[in-house]
């Protein structure tokens, strides 16, 4: 079978677990060479790399905390040093620290902005000199950009709203270079962030399909946006949410 991403080099931030790991697996299965960063999940990162290398895929795990701008830049530089360029940048690293505004810690606020917004901008800025025409920039946003849904999610929702706005602006900046910029907005998905049957039971009635999404379903949308077939899609925020926003 033809693999749509054969010969492409991808960097996925936050790629050791959950949606990030699913994206790494899918891009690799579609033929891409994949570097991915991780912050604390070193065992998972190396297990994922070993799994994919056993299947004949080329992957590179890179330790880099996305809260550290220099570490983000270094991850880009290491990818380029190993593979020569970056064709696909997937900004997936993100954190969620919930809490009501009354006593929300400023340190948590600052870290959320650093990981969920600043790291995205830094990675894009660092990758651009190494990205040729027809490059792809894809960022993991969230349906909370459009519907917070629950108390205590205001700061997280704000960061994901910023991703949607930045995506539209960067699409204008980079369109003349033939680089597309898009965001995917997952709804409730089976990950560490939405772990536990109690949480799933609260979420299922909100879904048009009556179930929680799978990380592989989110990865499928990323793979499509990264493929040549999506060359006319840019500046978009694409929901993969089981009808959560319907």
Among the listed residues 199, 214, 207, the one whose alpha carbon sits nearest the alpha carbon of residue 147: 207
Catalytic residue among 38, 156, 224, 244: 156
**What CA–CA distance (Å, rounded) separates 83 from 72?**
17
Reply yes or no on whether 224 is catalytic. no
* Backbone dihedral angles phi then psi of residue 20, each to the nearest 5 degrees: -60, -45
- Residue 29 pLDDT greater than 70, yes or no: yes
Please give the class, per CATH, of domain 9-188+218-240.
alpha beta
The closest alpha carbon to 217, from 240, 193, 191, belongs to 240
Domain boundaries, the chain: 9-188+218-240
pTM of the predicted structure, to 2 decimals: 0.95
User: 225 CB contacts (<8 Å, ≥6 apart)?
Assistant: 136, 138, 180, 182, 184, 233, 238
Kindly provide the b/e burial profile for residues 113-151, where b requires at least 16 CB atoms within 10 angstroms of the residue's own CB: bbbbbbbbbbbbebbbebbeeebbbbbbbbbbbbebbee
Q: Residue 137 in contact with residue 178, Cβ under 8 Å? A: no
| Alpha carbon 129 to its chain's center | 20
pLDDT in tens, 61-85: 999 999 999 999 999 999 999 999 9
Better-scored residue on pLDDT, 32 or 197: 32
Evaluate if residue 121 carries a pLDDT over 90: yes
Pairing state between β 237-240 and 59-63: unpaired
Which 8-state DSSP code applies to residue 9? E
pLDDT band at residue 193 using 50, 70 and 90 as cut-offs: low
């Amino acid at each position: 079978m033809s693999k749509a991403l054969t010969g492409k080099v991808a960097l996925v931030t936050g790629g050791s677990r959950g949606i990030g790991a699913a994206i790494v697996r899918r891009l690799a299965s579609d033929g891409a060479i994949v570097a991915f960063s991780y912050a604390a999940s070193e065992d998972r990162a190396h297990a994922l790399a070993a799994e994919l290398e056993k299947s004949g895929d080329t992957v590179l795990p890179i330790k880099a905390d996305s809260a550290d701008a220099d570490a983000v830049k270094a991850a880009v530089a290491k990818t380029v040093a190993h593979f020569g360029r970056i064709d696909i940048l997937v900004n997936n690293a993100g954190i969620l620290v919930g809490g009501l505004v009354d006593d929300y810690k400023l340190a948590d606020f600052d870290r959320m902005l650093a990981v969920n917004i600043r790291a995205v901008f830094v990675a894009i800025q660092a990758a651009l000199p190494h990205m040729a025409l027809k490059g792809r920039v894809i960022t993991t946003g969230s349906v909370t950009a459009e519907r917070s849904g629950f108390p205590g999610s205001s700061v997280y929702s704000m960061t994901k709203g910023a991703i949607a706005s930045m995506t539209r602006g960067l699409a204008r900046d980079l369109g003349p270079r033939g680089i597309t910029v898009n965001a995917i907005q997952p709804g409730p998905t089976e990950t560490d962030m939405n772990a536990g049957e109690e949480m799933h039971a609260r979420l299922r009635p909100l879904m048009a399909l009556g179930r929680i999404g799978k990380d592989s379903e989110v990865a499928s949308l990323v793979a499509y946006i990264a493929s040549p077939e999506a060359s006319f899609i840019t500046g978009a925020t694409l929901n993969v949410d089981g009808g959560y926003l319907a």
